[in-house]
Amino acid sequence: MDKETSNAELHKETQTTEVVGKPERKRHPSMLEEQISIFNSLEYDPQKHARVLVLYTGGTIGMCWKNGAYCPEPNFLVDAIKRYPHLHDSSYATVFTPDVDLQPLVLPDCHEPKTILYYVKEYDPLLDSSNMTAEEWSNIAKDIYDQYEAFDGFVILHGTDTMSYTASALSFMLENLGKPVILTGSQIPIFEVRSDGRDNFIGALVLAGCYKIPEVCIYFNHKLLRGNRSTKVDNSAFDAFDSPNMKPIASVEIKIYVDTDSIFRPHKLNKFAFMTNMIQNVAVLRLFPSITASTVKYFLRDPIAGVVLQTYGAGNGPQKRKDILDAFREATDRGVLIINISQCSRGVVNPSYETGQALLECGIIPGHDMTPEAALAKLSYVLGKTEWDYQQKRAMILQNLRGELTVKQSRQLSIIDADLIEAVAQVMQVSSSEEMAALRRVLYPSLICNATRSGSIATLESLKSAGANLRVGDYDGNTALHIAATNGLVDVVKFLIDNGANIFAEDQWGYTALDNAVRFDRFEIIRILRAAGAHLKQSPTKIASELCYTAAKDEVDRLRSFYFAGANLDQEDYNGCTALLTAVRHRSVSCVKFLVGVCESSISQKDRCGFTPYSEAERMKDKDLMYILSHIPPKIKQTESGGKLNGSP
Ligand code: ASN
């Protein structure tokens, strides 16, 4: 009996006690949309709740034992989850709606600042991950894209066998990702007594909902790994995944430890997008000592477009095998992209031997310390970028696009680092390197916030080169980006975004940099943040209340700020009142003028007593307002990047 079989036998034996009954009813496909619309209900509060969308693709986690094998069971998981008190707080869920079918799933309190509400979208068909293809990756990417603004994070329930491939592929396909996407699964189905699935699922939900780690990750056996660094290393242990060339980003123990310094910081943020043109003519070729030239030539024939070449040690190949080297050279001359990665799971490709140099001279690109899964995904992605020519594609393979490879950083000691921190260390009699590191962690956020406040990009640069993490917030959770947005420091905001600032970071009151920019009417900063993918997180009804309050006070610039930030100015507040109707009632003339230029439905909308803005103006006998409301100008088009910023409509 091999390991896999004995594992299956074990499952079979342990299964029966906890498997719950089969549900009577199939879930309606539109149910998810209806459930999501409940998010906008009065009870949902982004400061108290985190929202996670779970995309359930299949895998052992939801499988049942049938006819002597494990297979995915449709329409089973959600009803089962609802019966596990550790996975769902059914009494909390009734707060949102009494309709059980529309209620969110609620993760019971787990001592995090927010309660996690989650929704499961089950794929049809559910798949063992060995059956997954690039088509499924595209479906996942599209679902994340479609629901990006409605959720704080995403969990993908997935089989373990190809989880690292999917995680690697998604890390490239999801461009400018600003929210966590966490894949997890299990070795034993979640319905079984000894399942690892419950812990994995709960950990993934907590990390996706409450920790702002804007990366595609794998969470398994208490470790959060960067997805494109991960690989499945064990098919029978709970500790099934590792990232051999990178420490875990987080570990979930009694406390959750996140290594914030290791979170990937992109160089430039744009609006979140997804790419699905993954080229499938890529493959792995593993060298072995007597491989024949004809095998290599056959392998490299058309239609192959990209090859991950697994070489020996630090990237070495048979330098004396001219026939093989010629085959490689001939392929790269034809435009085939070949990446050199090592057969060793740890270490970097480093052409310091003649044998490595020989491959380099054939046009083979060093793959640094990428995993085979990441190298394949990167090839598919780069080859699919029609806007890049061959040289750009080669250059992109060498670049660190999503944290998939290690780039050596020269750490220069800056004046700030050397002088101030050393001086404080001396006064405090700090001696060990651990204490010194702890001191830096405490001092850097304050230094960063100070430098930001004074608009000193040079100081920020020097802090960054000294190893400071510009994403980290101070004791209030205020990040440099919050401060720059509040103070209208356009250049600093641009610098921070170019240096990987987290546009979704919240201060301790739940405000993001975009909220601050709106509250201080920083139009240009709102535009920059929107272009980088930021969006308002409050529920539309709550935003509508603020809009009404703003309209009542005739604060037209604040209305503009909300408009540029993407708020729907036609939205009704709790009383069914719109900003336009409120502006009319309070004779806020400049707000009425602005709103008639940008609103659609609220111009003719009746409130609960049957008044439209015009009939209200008539009732108030306000001739000016009646004139404005009967001369509606053509609508101003909201631009992609957040609206028309110059001049008023
Ligand atoms: N064969 C399963 C899958 O990858 C293995 C698992 O999930 N543990 O779907």
Each residue's pLDDT tens digit, 84-104: 999 999 999 998 888 888 889
- Determine the distance separating the centroid of ligand 1 and the alpha carbon of 380, expressed in angstroms: 24
Written as six digits, the tokens of 320 are: 């004396």
For residue 62 and ligand 1, the question of a CB distance below 6 A is answered with no
Q: Which of 57, 60, 231, 578 is catalytic?
A: 60
Beta bridge partners of 184: 157
* Any atom of ligand 1 within 6 Å of the Cβ of 60: yes
Task: Identify the band that residue 43 occupies on the pLDDT scale cut at 50, 70 and 90.
Answer: low
Q: For the segment 528-569, what is each residue's pLDDT rounded down to a tens digit?
A: 999 999 999 888 888 999 999 999 999 999 999 999 999 999
* Long-range contact pairs involving 506-513 (C-beta distance under 8 Å, separation at least 24): 506/212, 506/477, 507/473, 507/476, 507/477, 507/478, 507/479, 507/482, 508/476, 508/477, 509/47, 510/46, 510/47, 510/537, 511/482, 512/482, 512/537, 513/479, 513/481, 513/482, 513/484, 513/485
What DSSP line would sit under 224-292, residue for residue? Answer: EEEGGG-EE--SSSS--EE-TTS--SEEESSSEEE-GGGS---S-----EE-------EEEEE--TT--
β 181-184/153-157 pair status = parallel
- Cβ–ligand 1 contact at 153 (below 6 Å): no
User: For residues 273 and 141, what is the distance between their CA atoms, to the nearest angstrom?
Assistant: 9
Ligand 1 atom having least distance to the Cα of 59: 9
Provide the pLDDT for residue 609: 86
Ligand 1 contacts CB of residue 136 (under 6 A): no
Q: Among the CATH numbers 3.30.70.100, 3.40.50.1170, 3.50.50.60, 3.40.50.10470, which is that of 44-274?
A: 3.40.50.1170
**Look-up of token digits 């986690």:** 61
* Mean pLDDT of the chain, nearest integer: 88
> 152 near 209, Cβ under 8 Å?
yes
**C-alpha 161 to ligand 1 mean position (Å):** 5
Residue 543 identity (one-letter amino acid): I
Tell me the CB-side half-sphere exposure of residue 408, using CA atoms within 13 A: 4
Does this model's pTM top 0.75?
yes
Q: What is the pLDDT of residue 413?
A: 43
- The percent of residues in the chain predicted with pLDDT above 90, rounded, is 68
What spacing in Å lies between the alpha carbon of 18 and ligand 1's midpoint? 20
φ and ψ at residue 81, rounded to 5 degrees: -55, -40
Tell me which residue has its CA closest to atom 8 in ligand 1.
187
CA of 229 to the centre of ligand 1 (A): 19
Question: Which structure tokens are listed for 258?
Answer: 């996140």
Most ligand 1 atoms within 8 A of CB, residue of 10, 73, 126, 128 to mutate: 128
Rounded-to-integer distance, Cα 37 and Cα 48, Å: 18
Q: Kindly report, residue by residue over 73-83, the tens digit of the pLDDT.
A: 999 999 999 99
Domains 44-274 and 282-398 agree in fold: yes
> How far out from the chain centre does Cα 11 lie?
34
Pocket test for ligand 1, best of 5, 60, 196 (most atoms within 8 A of CB): 60
CA 542 – ligand 1 centroid, Å: 43
How many Cα neighbours within 13 Å face the side chain of 590? Answer: 10
What is the DSSP secondary-structure string of 286-321? E--TT--HHHHHHHTSTT--EEEEEEBTTTB--TT-
Of the chain, the percentage scoring pLDDT greater than 70 comes to 88
Q: Which CATH class for the 540-630 domain?
A: mainly alpha
At 265, is the pLDDT very low, low, confident or very high (cuts 50, 70, 90)? confident
pLDDT class of 433 with cuts at 50, 70, 90: low
In terms of Cα–Cα distance, which of 637, 568, 557 is closest to 597?
637
Tell me, using a 6 A CB cutoff, whether residue 128 lines ligand 1: yes
Distance CA 15, CA 65 (A): 8
Give, for ligand 1, the residue of 3, 64, 129 to mutate: max count of ligand atoms closer than 8 Å to Cβ: 129
Distance 153 CA to ligand 1 centre (A): 23
pLDDT at 7: 46
Q: Are 408 and 362 in contact (CB under 8 A)?
A: no
User: Tokens 């927010």 sit at which residue?
Assistant: 114
Cα 15 to averaged position of ligand 1 atoms, centre (Å): 16
Q: Which of 160, 163, 191 to mutate to test the pocket of ligand 1 (most atoms within 8 A of CB)?
A: 160
Q: Which pLDDT band, with edges at 50, 70 and 90, does 612 fall under?
A: very high
H or E segment to which residue 471 belongs: none
Task: State whether residue 9 is helix, strand or coil.
Answer: helix
Three-state DSSP class for 450? helix
Ligand 1 center to 159 CA (angstroms)? 4
Q: Say yes or no to pLDDT of 371 above 70.
A: yes
The residues near 616 (Cβ < 8 Å, ≥ 6 apart) are: 581, 584, 585
Quick one: pLDDT at residue 400?
93
- Find the mean pLDDT for residues 353-376: 91
Ligand 1 pocket member 195 (CB < 6 A): no
End-to-end CA distance of the chain: 75
Please return the burial class of 593, using the count of CB atoms within 10 Å of its CB with bins 0-12, 13-18 and 19+: middle
Q: How confident is the model at residue 50 (pLDDT cuts 50, 70, 90)?
A: very high
For the Cβ of 59 lying below 6 angstroms from any atom of ligand 1, the answer is yes
Q: Which ligand 1 atom is the nearest neighbour of the CA of 186?
A: 8
Report the nearest atom of ligand 1 relative to the CA of 58: 9
Segment among 116-130, 227-241, 308-322, 426-440 with least mean pLDDT? 426-440
Backbone torsions φ then ψ of 338, nearest 5 degrees = -120, 125
CB atoms within 10 A of CB 522: 25
Residue 12 has pLDDT above 70, yes or no: no
Cα separation of 229 and 227, whole Å? 5
Predicted confidence band of residue 181 (pLDDT cuts 50, 70, 90): very high
Q: What is d(CA 562, CA 17) in angstroms, rounded to the nearest whole number? A: 54
- Dihedral angle sign, alpha carbons of residues 449, 450, 451, 454: positive
What spacing in Å lies between the alpha carbon of 185 and ligand 1's midpoint? 8
CA of residue 189 to ligand 1 center, whole Å:
10
159 lines ligand 1 (CB under 6 A): yes
Per DSSP bridges, beta strands 365-366 and 115-127 are unpaired
Please state, in angstroms and rounded to a whole number, the distance separating the CA atoms of residues 325 and 287: 12
Protein residue with its CA nearest to atom 3 in ligand 1: 159
Asked whether the beta carbons of 126 and 60 are under 8 A apart, the reply is no
The span from the CA of 369 to the CA of 58, in Å, is 30
Top mutation candidate among 11, 130, 188 for ligand 1, by most atoms within 8 Å of CB = 130
From ligand 1's centre to the CA of 528, what distance in Å? 43
| H or E element in which residue 56 lies | strand 49-58
Determine how many CB atoms are found less than 10 A away from the CB of residue 54. Answer: 25
161 lines ligand 1 (CB under 6 A): yes
What is the number of the ligand 1 atom nearest to the C-alpha of 185? Answer: 7
Burial class (CB in 10 A: 0-12, 13-18, 19+), 110: middle
Active site residue 60: yes
Superfamily of domain 415-531 in the CATH hierarchy: Ankyrin repeat-containing domain (1.25.40.20)
Every domain of the chain and the residues it spans: 44-274, 282-398, 415-531, 540-630
Please identify, by atom number, the ligand 1 atom nearest to the C-alpha of residue 127.
Answer: 9
The larger pLDDT score, comparing residue 470 to residue 484, is at 484
In the predicted structure, residue 388 carries a pLDDT above the cut 90: yes
Q: Is the pLDDT of residue 290 over 70?
A: yes
Q: How far is the CA of 160 from the centre of ligand 1 (A)?
A: 5
CATH of domain 282-398: 3.40.50.40
Which atom of ligand 1 approaches the CA of 130 most closely? 4
Q: Is the pLDDT of residue 649 over 50?
A: no
Q: Which atom of ligand 1 is nearest to the CA of 72?
A: 9
Do residues 59 and 129 touch, judged by C-beta distance below 8 A? yes
Burial of 273 (0-12, 13-18, 19+ CB in 10 A): middle
State the pLDDT at residue 30.
55
Closest ligand 1 atom to Cα of 240: 8
Does ligand 1 come within 6 angstroms of the Cβ of 555?
A: no
Q: Which atom of ligand 1 is found nearest the CA of 128?
A: 9
Is 185 close to ligand 1, i.e. is its CB under 6 Å away? Answer: yes
Q: Phi, psi at residue 625, to the nearest 5°?
A: -65, -40
